[in-house]
């Protein structure tokens, strides 16, 4: 199966933080941000696989800054590495104050997606080809994170 460069999976999704998704402090609910992270990750995974995908796992998500109502959230995602039927996707979330233009890194996450065939079972995905130094670093680090995830999964299963 012929590989595809990372650049073909790069996706960007933007959404305005609105009051209906806020907590009592005027900040976007963390669960709403998590939902958007999952969507942005799925977009990159589907772009790469050109098949439906399901979320298999989400690594820890640490909020560095709150998302305030009326700020723009910008989510960027790309496939870091492919492991036969699964893919690690990195998602970075920034907020932008539309009045000042100030941007803040809000959170980042790594998600694992599994591609599905027409039979709704896991199916093979083309390998990803990292081209830049940053893509090569993320590719290597994805392998290390996968080892950790698999070790954790084996401890959680009876």
Give the position of tokens 């976007």: 28
Identify whether the C-beta of residue 29 lies closer than 8 Å to the C-beta of residue 92: no
What the chain holds in terms of domains, given with CATH numbers, is: 4-156 (3.10.129.10)
Which residues have C-beta within 8 Å of that of residue 99, sequence separation ≥ 6? Answer: none
- Give the model confidence (pLDDT) of 77-103 as tens digits: 999 999 999 999 999 999 999 999 999
Which residues have C-beta within 8 Å of that of residue 5, sequence separation ≥ 6? Answer: 128, 129, 130, 131
- Give the model confidence (pLDDT) of 122-155 as tens digits: 999 999 999 999 999 999 999 999 998 888 888 8
Identify whether the C-beta of residue 74 lies closer than 8 Å to the C-beta of residue 114: no
Q: Name the pTM for this structure.
A: 0.93
């Amino acid at each position: 199966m012929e590989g595809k460069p990372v650049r073909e999976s790069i996706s960007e999704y933007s959404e305005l933080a609105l009051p209906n998704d806020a907590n009592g402090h005027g900040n976007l609910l963390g669960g709403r941000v998590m939902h958007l992270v999952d969507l942005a990750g799925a977009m990159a995974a589907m772009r790469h696989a050109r098949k439906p995908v399901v979320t298999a796992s989400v690594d820890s998500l640490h909020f560095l800054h709150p998302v305030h109502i009326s700020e723009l959230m910008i989510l960027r995602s790309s496939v870091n590495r492919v492991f036969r039927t699964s893919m690690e996707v990195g998602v970075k979330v920034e907020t932008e104050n539309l009045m000042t233009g100030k941007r803040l890194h809000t959170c980042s996450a790594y998600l694992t997606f599994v591609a599905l065939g027409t039979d709704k079972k896991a199916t093979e995905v083309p390998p990803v080809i990292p081209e830049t130094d940053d893509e090569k670093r993320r590719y290597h680090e994805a392998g290390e994170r996968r080892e950790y995830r698999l070790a954790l999964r084996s401890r959680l299963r009876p």
